[in-house]
Amino acid sequence: MVIGEAVGDIGVIGLAVMGQNLILNMNDHGFTVVAFNRTVSKVDEFLQNEAKGTKVIGAHSIEELAAKLKKPRRIMLMVKAGSAVDDFINLLLPHLEKGDIIIDGGNSEYLDSRRRTKDLESKGFLFVGSGVSGGEEGARHGPSLMPGGSAAAWPAIKDIFQGIAAKVGNEPCCDWVGEDGAGHFVKMVHNGIEYGDMQLIAEAYHIMRDVVGMTNDEMSEALAKWNKGFLDSFLIEITSDILKYKDEKGQHLVDKIRDAAGQKGTGKWTTMAALEYGIPVTLIGEAVFARCLSSLKDERVNASKQLKRPSPKFTGDRQKFIEQISYALYASKIISYAQGFMLFREAAKQLNWKLNNGGIALMWRGGCIIRSAFLGDIKKAFDKNPDLSNLLLDDFFKKAISDAQDGWRQVVSTAVLNGIPVPAMSSALSFYDGFASATLPANLIQAQRDYFGAHTYELMDAPGKFVHTNWTGRGGTTSSSTYSA
Ligand code: 2AM
């Protein structure tokens, strides 16, 4: 039985809103898409409604989908992350040939993409795990796409991916990220950075509202101004809009929203990866915990009646301080991205990836929630020096932090003195001071570890040589490493 002519450029499985929008985007760019869904009735519904008048072709079985695709087949899964992806891979394989490409564009965990790449490559197929960012709007009109996995698949999907991705100037916000789970790892860190950026803006808002005493409209104007300078970004822009938004009663809606933040887990995953690889991604961690603390609303209300904190009062130069807040936000943001790229470097080392750092900055430059002019500067830093060991050591960022530093310290200390929590801004500053210190008090920690647990320490003048001291004269001279040897 002939069930279809092989005219399809790409198959997409999963007709929820992200899948549908990606298909329509691909269609707009001249690609012939074959659409399939587990609940098959949704295929015809889609063709008769959203996809009416397009070149999109429906498939009513996996067999029909495979038959309608040009070879090597390119099939993109836009289904729920987890077992649905493995189920579809298993259903697809009997209908595919060696060299065919399965792409997972869902929100999969990077270790799953790592496993799937290895598994499919061992069977002669190619696998791509791609981060897709920008929500429904992005998927329809230009997402940020972060593909990783089997490098041999890239030439075969590049035109479609770069064709449908967001553009900044002429440059697509999509490039090859790296091996196996690298695409989904980069997407995960993107989401973590989004948590950090949002927390920083929330802290700036908190200080402006409660210390400086600004109205929502004043804050909206301040952010609109910031959005024309070094803080130019999607999140600053929408926050300016949010602050001036009035409900049907003519009152500011933001004041009526319960201050308990939700989360879906990607910030937590980034923080867990940071702990796993031993990299101090402190700002994102603090952003996740700040959401956790906010969600303990009832406990906070109760504690606020019993625990003392200073009442904020502001006495300085208002305009100058508002400008300093923008510097504190900017410097902290630089720290957050520097920490994110430190995590990339270590994960790449441990997982044997060769990551495209400049490409990552460009992928985030447009199409996604963290898009900003600032990412253009990060791209430039990596273009200048692809082996840059740390963003903070790039000349542009060195100067930026140096220029912002006084304001940053002023804002953090003012917030602390006024009882305003600034976990992201202050942890960023502590990270900076730690990173920029040749000497830290870890000598004392090593001594303590050796004192109570015989964990040994190195002397300054003999790094690499671990010794133990019998600190008390009791307990002997055997070190713990000797016990475990
Ligand atoms: P459905 O329309 O048949 O529910 C987003 O939920 C997309 O993932 C939808 O296309 C949905 O298909 C699909 N999906 C969710 N869970 C699935 C599963 N366990 N197996 C296959 N597809 C699944």
HEC per residue, 286-324: HHHHHHHHHCCHHHHHHHHCCCCCCCCCCCCCHHHHHHH
Q: How far apart are CA 404 and CA 410, in angstroms?
A: 10
Whether 478 shows a pLDDT value over 80: the answer reads no
Q: Is 16 in the pocket of ligand 1 (CB under 6 A)?
A: yes
Measured in whole angstroms, how far is the alpha carbon of residue 185 from the centre of its chain?
9
Radius of gyration of the chain (CA): 26
What distance in angstroms lies between residue 81's CA and the mean position of ligand 1's atoms? 9
What distance in angstroms lies between residue 38's CA and the mean position of ligand 1's atoms? 6
Whose Cα sits closest to atom 21 in ligand 1?
Answer: 84
Q: Is 39 in the pocket of ligand 1 (CB under 6 A)?
A: yes
Q: Is 105 in the pocket of ligand 1 (CB under 6 A)?
A: no
Per residue in 118-137, pLDDT (tens digit) is: 999 999 999 999 999 999 99
C-beta of residue 8 within 8 angstroms of C-beta of residue 32: yes
Whether 439 shows a pLDDT value over 60: the answer reads yes
78-91 average pLDDT score: 98
Q: Which atom of ligand 1 is nearest to the CA of 80?
A: 8
What distance in angstroms lies between residue 482's CA and the mean position of ligand 1's atoms? 55
Per residue in 363-385, pLDDT (tens digit) is: 999 999 999 999 999 999 999 99
Whether 484 shows a pLDDT value over 80: the answer reads no
Q: How far apart are CA 55 and CA 51, in angstroms?
A: 8
C-beta of residue 157 within 8 angstroms of C-beta of residue 103: yes
71-78 average pLDDT score: 98
Q: How far apart are CA 31 and CA 38, in angstroms?
A: 23
What distance in angstroms lies between residue 13's CA and the mean position of ligand 1's atoms? 9
Q: How far is CA 368 from CA 68, 100, 196, 350, 365, in A?
A: 32, 29, 15, 28, 8
Q: Residue 373 region, left (φ>0) first, then alpha (ψ -120 to 50), else beta?
A: alpha
Residue 233 bridge partners (DSSP): 372
Per residue in 214-265, pLDDT (tens digit) is: 999 999 999 999 999 999 999 999 999 999 999 999 999 999 999 999 999 8
pLDDT of residue 481: 61
Q: What is the mean pLDDT of the chain?
A: 96
Whose Cα sits closest to atom 10 in ligand 1?
Answer: 14
Query: pTM for this structure?
Result: 0.95
Length of the chain: 485
Q: How far apart are CA 40 and CA 157, in angstroms?
A: 26
Q: Which atom of ligand 1 is nearest to the CA of 18?
A: 5
pLDDT of residue 3: 65
Q: Which atom of ligand 1 is nearest to the CA of 38?
A: 3
Whose Cα sits closest to atom 7 in ligand 1?
Answer: 79
- The confidence band for 485, taking pLDDT boundaries of 50, 70 and 90, is very low
pLDDT of residue 479: 73
Q: Which residues of 184-200 are buried (b: 16+ CB within 10 A; e: fewer)?
A: bbbbbbbbbbbbbbbbb
Tokens of 402: 């140096």
What distance in angstroms lies between residue 29's CA and the mean position of ligand 1's atoms? 26
- The confidence band for 191, taking pLDDT boundaries of 50, 70 and 90, is very high
Whose Cα sits closest to atom 17 in ligand 1?
Answer: 84
397-404 average pLDDT score: 98
DSSP string, 336-387: HHHHHHHHHHHHHHHHT----HHHHHHHHHSSSTT-BTHHHHHHHHHHH-TT
Per residue in 256-307, pLDDT (tens digit) is: 999 999 999 889 999 999 999 999 999 999 999 999 999 999 999 999 999 9
Q: How far apart are CA 378 and CA 397, in angstroms?
A: 9
Whether 483 shows a pLDDT value over 60: the answer reads no
pLDDT of residue 427: 98
What 3-state DSSP class applies to 186? helix
